[in-house]
Amino acid sequence: MRTTQTHTIQLTNPIYRRRQRLNKMMLLIAALAVLFGLFWLFWIILTLLYKGAAAVSWSLFTETTPPPGAAGGLLNAILGSLMMSGVGTLLGTPIGILAGTYLAEYGNRGWLAPTTRFLNDVLLSAPSIVIGLFIYTVYVVQIGHHSGWAGAFALGIIVIPVVVRSTDNMLLLVPNSLREAAAALGCPQWRIITMICYRAARSGIITGALLAIARIAGETAPLLFTALNNQFLTLNMNEPMANLPVVIFQFAASPFKDWNHLAWAGAALITLFVLLLNILARVWFRKK
For residue 203, the model assigns a pLDDT of: 85
Q: Mean of the per-residue pLDDT values for the chain?
A: 89
Instruction: Give me the pLDDT at residue 204, please.
Output: 87
Least confident of 46-50, 107-111, 239-243: 107-111
Q: What pLDDT does 18 receive? A: 86
* Whole-Å CA distances, 96 to 15, 144, 149: 53, 29, 19
Is 68's pLDDT higher than 90?
Answer: no
- Residue 194 pLDDT class (50, 70, 90 cuts): very high
pLDDT at 52: 87
pLDDT-based confidence at residue 207 (cuts at 50, 70, 90): confident
Task: Find the range with the poorest average confidence among 40-54, 115-129, 135-149, 269-283.
Answer: 269-283
Residue spans per domain, the chain: 2-53, 58-287
User: Which of 55-59, 131-135, 163-167, 226-230 bottoms out in mean pLDDT, i.e. has the lowest?
Assistant: 55-59
pTM for this structure? 0.86
CATH of the domain spanning 58-287: 1.10.3720.10
Burial (CB count <10 Å: 0-12, 13-18, 19+), residue 261: middle
In this predicted structure, which of 7-16, 74-83, 166-175, 277-286 has the lowest mean pLDDT?
A: 7-16
pLDDT of residue 107: 85
* Other Cβ atoms closer than 10 A to 64: 18
Query: What 8-state DSSP symbol labels residue 105?
Result: I
Distance CA 169, CA 82 (A): 28
Task: Look at residue 109 in the predicted model and tell me its pLDDT.
Answer: 79
Please give the Cα distance from 279 to 213 (Å, whole number). 14
96-126 core/surface letters (b: 16 or more CB in 10 A; e: else): bbebbbbbbbebeeeeebeebbeebeebeee
Give the number of other Cβ atoms within 10 Å of residue 185's Cβ: 8
**DSSP one-letter string for 206-247:** HHHHHHHHHHHTT--HHHHHTT---SS----TTS----HHHH
